[in-house]
Amino acid sequence: MNKILKDFIIKSKIMSGYHTPFTPGWDCHGLPIELQVEKKYGKGKFKDNPNAFVAACREFARKQIEKQKADFIRLGVFADWDNPYTSMDKEVEAGIVKSLSKIIDNNHVYFGSKPVHWCIESSSALAEAEVEYKDIVSKAVCVKFRITSSNELTFTKNINHKARISIPIWTTTPWTLPANRAVAISKDIDYSLVQVDRDYLIIAKKLVGSVMEKAGISGFKVVEESIKSEMSAVMLEHPFYDIKVPVIFAEHVTDENGTGAVHIAPGHGTEDYLAGLEHDLEVYNPVDDYGRFKESLPIFGGMKVRESNEEIVSLLNKNEALLFSEDYEHSYPHCWRYKTPLIFRATPQWFMSMDKSALRKSIKDDIKNINWLPSWGEDRIFNMIEGRPIGVYQDKDFGVYQFLYFYTKKQMNYILIRVLF
């Protein structure tokens, strides 16, 4: 249907007296082809021979092109079928490398570690366009982070200095707790000090009632209100590791649900990552390419993250750090190929910055000089460029050869490197 509708346009213009040559083309690079080859031969066959893997991918693409071409000709589609182009043509690949070198020369490329959508099944990062969202039910937990010392906090002056004071956080991803490096609150939210038996909890004023209800607690008392000015100096105990984490202020924290406090794992989320950069937190990612906790991680090393939630909840309960847990339905990112839930994990990668060398400004200026048809296309593209994330980069200079060498080591984009050398 797609090809026939396009052919209508070509033929109508030919019949109107226009010269309308159509050169067919095929995009031959990408994960779908690699997945089909791995499916046919197995993942292990090309483990130590990337040249053979590239050759198998090229052969798979060539056969698909011939099949599609034959079908299009049978449909009567007008095109220069004897002279098509493909993205795996040497001339096209050389042009890609040449363009890449210009991008690097213009100082748009940087190397950093940043959380990305990660598909466990393909062991690959996904672009935003490859992500689809589905509703799932997650095991959400409310976890208490105990304040290490409350002696210097004025709002605790009227309570027993031996009392346990905690800041509870609420999360739908318990598996990210091993990577916790802070707890975030908001400067725009009022917090209350709530007494529960001999313990105390710091909760957003607006959410005290709902938190107590979910925890099944009826006997509680609000001791202090509007506390937060001193919170930035507070240190907390991790709920199951022998480490201390700070309380920080972050703009993405709200009192719409949860507790008004958010656990921060810079290695497992974009907002957490940005908050971590602002407060100089470690970007810690204990999860490997295959969705398992690294063997070096205490307690949970070697465990699959998708199977770890129950173990983590059990440990929280054992450590008296679990306030409550609940089943929570929400929208969650999935891989568009495998239809499986994704994870966020920080990986060292190359990025193109929109702001390091004023690329965003240059594009926005050029958009204004284009005659858009339809006219609403201008606003759509302008808003897309305007809203692209701001690149946070390490200020390092990497030449084109170093750049490509890095990818050679990772056995990625191998075809482009072979063309260059």
Three-state secondary-structure class, residue 101: helix
Do the Cβ atoms of 88 and 415 come closer than 8 Å?
yes
More confidently predicted of 296 and 231: 296
Is residue 281 scored above 70 in pLDDT?
yes
Q: What are the φ and ψ backbone dihedral angles of 36, each rounded to 5 degrees?
A: -65, -40
pLDDT recorded at residue 415: 36
User: Is residue 164 predicted with pLDDT exceeding 50?
Assistant: yes
- Which position has the higher pLDDT, 351 or 260? 260
Q: What single letter denotes the amino acid at residue 380?
A: R
C-alpha span between 193 and 205 (Å, rounded): 9
pLDDT at site 362? 92
Q: What confidence score (pLDDT) does residue 351 get? A: 83
Across 279-308, b (16+ Cβ under 10 Å) vs e yields bebebbbbbbeebbbeeebeebeebebeeb
Which of 217, 139, 146, 154 is closest to 183 using CA atoms? 146
Residue 392 pLDDT: 47
Q: Which two tokens stand for residue 275?
A: 């908050």
Instruction: Report, as an integer, the average pLDDT of 82-94.
Output: 94
Asked whether residue 405 carries a pLDDT value surpassing 60, the answer given is no
Which residue is listed with tokens 């019949």? 15
Q: According to the model, what pLDDT value does residue 390 have?
A: 57
Asked whether the whole model's pTM tops 0.75, one would answer no
Asked if residue 166 lies in contact with residue 199, where contact means CB atoms within 8 angstroms, the answer is yes
- If pLDDT is split at 50, 70 and 90, which confidence band does 397 have? very low
Pure H helices in 186-254: 208-214
